[in-house]
Amino acid sequence: MTDQWVGRWIGVEGLFLEISKDEPAGPGHYLLHMRYGLDADQIGTFEGQATAEGIRFNRGDGPQLLRAGDGEATGMKWLLEKEDCLVVATGEGYCRD
């Protein structure tokens, strides 16, 4: 399931998520390059591991789970009509058209 998530996802106000396979680490391992906030330090690349729920990863604000959802699940009115989204938490989501 998570291999289908590889590629670029768009958030609001310039936020983004780019998922690529971490080939040296093996199947089910990903690199998540993301701008997840507007502060200068809220950008980075994080190692992720596929689980039954989605992709688990750690960043400065602690352990996170990236999971499939829709615009409503993001909790952001700008993404409300989107159907293909990935959500970290309410208020942080990334979608494809």
CA 19, CA 88: separation in Å to the nearest integer? 14
The pLDDT assigned to 1 comes to 84
The pLDDT assigned to 43 comes to 96
89 and 80 Cβ atoms separated by less than 8 Å = no
Cα dihedral angle (17, 58, 62, 71), rounded to 10 degrees? Answer: 30
59 and 67 Cβ atoms separated by less than 8 Å = no
Q: What does the block give as tokens for 31?
A: 């690199």
Q: Which residue's structure tokens are 């310039």?
A: 14
Question: How confident is the prediction along the chain (97 residues), in pLDDT tens digits per residue?
Answer: 899 999 999 999 999 999 999 999 999 999 999 999 999 999 999 999 999 999 999 999 999 999 999 999 999 999 999 999 999 999 999 999 8
